[in-house]
Chains A and B, each alone.
Chain A
Amino acid sequence: MRYAMAIDTKKCVGCSDCVVACQTENNVPIGYCRDWVVEVMDGTYPQLEIEIRSERCNHCENSPCVRCCPTGASHYSDGGIVLVTPDECIGCGACITSCPYDARYTHPEGYVDKCTFCIQRVAKGLQPACVSVCPTKCMYFGDMDDPKSDVSLILKKRKYKTLIPEAGTKPQLYFLI
């Protein structure tokens, strides 16, 4: 099993619903966020091109955060989801520093926190909160090992890219282009 997410940059309008849904579902402390929306503007007026991406932890297959964690608090869970066990985390910041996507932060209680692909929902067969609320249905989530999953089907049809593949992290967030 290998969970992954695909985000259609052609359909995303940057409404930030995914961000609010995540904060609500996961009780993210005020002033923090586990996912965010990036807008890239390319070119010179009037030849402009825009790309909008909803970003979060890439749940990398070769995670620098899991590698750098001195206690094993950062670990791979079912389906390659990268998680932090709060009671094992010492809050040293090594994983935060090691993440090229800056996807982690220190929770006000001291441990490190991040996107969990809403593992509590996924375990029940539901979609992650961000995917389930997207008004343009631009996000796809599922098991890459299952050829019939939403994410496998859309990646077969469309061209896609990942973020900083040259960092060697094997990210599992696919952006349809």
Chain B
Amino acid sequence: MREEIIVSGRNNPLIDPVLHIWHWQIPLYLFLGGLAAGILFFAALYRIMGKEDKYPAAVKIAPLLVPVFLVLGLFALFLDLKHKLYFWQLYTNIKLQSPMSWGAWTLMAITPLSFVYAALHIKEIFPKWDWKFQFLKDFEAWCNKYILHMSWIIIVLSVILGVYTGILFSAFNARPLWNTSILGPLFLASGLSTGAATIMLLSKEKAERKLFAQIDLLLIVIELFLITHMFMGFLASTQVQIDAANLFLGGPFTYSFWIFVVALGLVLPATLEVLELRKYHVPVIIPAGLVLFGGVMLRFIIAYAGQASRWLY
């Protein structure tokens, strides 16, 4: 038997007895960032492919929500900072080794772009919208001229944003659960999947809903594959990563992970989407809502479980 205790009574707030420095703000932001990345990815993709009239919800309607998601996410991030008035220090240098620095700069680029992209499509919702000032109208015309170039920039930035939400965690080797490079692609796939679900919710065209149900189905299969690989990797790794996997395999996060993320967030919506594609009628809100719910739960559970996983010495 081996027992290890701190006898000098260390009880640093937010650190002891287990790390709990990050609360709801970080996973919520990761969800909103991934969702924004997913919507922007599909908007830019189908814009580049010239299918804006075939898939209007993806290219023109859903991106109107992105600025809202990004601003809410950034606000959540700001709330998380403990030394808030110094937040501008993020933009005084570029640190290539720090994922958070990458994320801050990516958001700095993609947030204004998402505002411009949304502004270009505001007339889809408000047909009588008038920009009032001539210079705004000139700017709109100029942006419309270069919208394909903008879409290429957006598609690259959206992939960086989507991957970064996972890399943020995986860069921390002090938390064995997070220390897997699978989290980058997993969070990207989940972000794209929630983006596809949002487009399904907003779409009024049957063909478009069908396409995004198929895309979402493929992404869910990829997510299940990545989750399986994550556990295989953990169980074949060092003791600390075996312990990390056991948080979900009998440990305190078992029920929440397998029920909320895997069953309700992935398997059930996938089954409903298969039924829908086989011509059974399923109200779109159910699979799409479940996918969004699963996306939120994935971030929350990984964020909290990661802080509970640690090295022992």
Contact = CB atoms under 8 A, between A and B. Distances in A.
A91 interface: yes
A98 B172 contact: yes
B238 A166 contact: yes
Interface string B50-78: 00000000000000000000000000000
Interface stretch (B14-22, B137-145, B151-159): B14-22
Interface string A90-103: 11111011111010
Interface residues of B, number: 47
B167 to A, nearest CB: 11
Contacts, number: 154
Contact of A164 (B11, B15, B81, B311): B311
Nearest to A165: B313
Interface stretch (A2-10, A29-37, A117-125, A139-147): A29-37
Interface string B224-235: 000000000000
A99 B174 contact: yes
Output the residue of B5, B7, B87, B93 with the most chain A CB within 10 A. B7
A173 B34 CA distance: 40
A96 B19 contact: yes
A91 B82 contact: yes
A135 interface: no
Majority secondary structure, B binding face: loop
A110 B100 contact: no
B2 A90 contact: no
B259 interface: no
A43 B9 CA distance: 23
A43 B1 contact: yes
A90 B89 contact: yes
A52 B8 CA distance: 11
A109 B84 CA distance: 10
A128 interface: no
Given A38-B5, A71-B92, A166-B238, A97 B19 contact: yes
A70 B22 CA distance: 16
Given A72-B93, A105-B14, A91 B8 contact: no
A64 B10 CA distance: 22
A6 to B, nearest CB: 17
Contacts of B98: 67-70, 94
B19 A105 contact: no
A41 to B, nearest CB: 5
B116 interface: no
A41 B173 contact: no
Q: How large is the interface on A (under 10, 10 to 19, 20 to 34, 35 or more residues)?
A: 35 or more
A133 interface: no
A74 B194 CA distance: 36
B171 interface: yes
A43 B174 CA distance: 27
Interface string B110-133: 000000000000000000000000
B236 interface: no
B86 A87 contact: yes
Interface string A1-24: 000000000000010100100000
Interface in B1-47: 1-16, 19, 21-22
A110 B82 contact: yes
B22 A90 contact: no
Closest 10 CB pairs of A and B: A91-B82, A91-B83, A110-B83, A70-B100, A100-B174, A36-B10, A70-B101, A37-B8, A105-B12, A16-B8
Interface of A: 14, 16, 19, 31-33, 35-44, 52, 64, 67-73, 86-94, 96-100, 102, 104-106, 109-112, 163-164, 166-168
Interface of B: 1-16, 19, 21-22, 80-84, 86-87, 89-90, 92-93, 95, 97-101, 104, 171-175, 238, 307, 310-311, 313
29 contacts: A19-B8, A31-B13, A32-B13, A37-B8, A39-B7, A40-B2, A44-B1, A64-B173, A70-B101, A70-B104, A71-B89, A71-B90, A71-B92, A71-B93, A73-B89, A88-B86, A88-B89, A89-B83, A89-B86, A92-B80, A96-B19, A96-B21, A97-B19, A97-B22, A104-B15, A106-B14, A106-B82, A110-B81, A167-B173
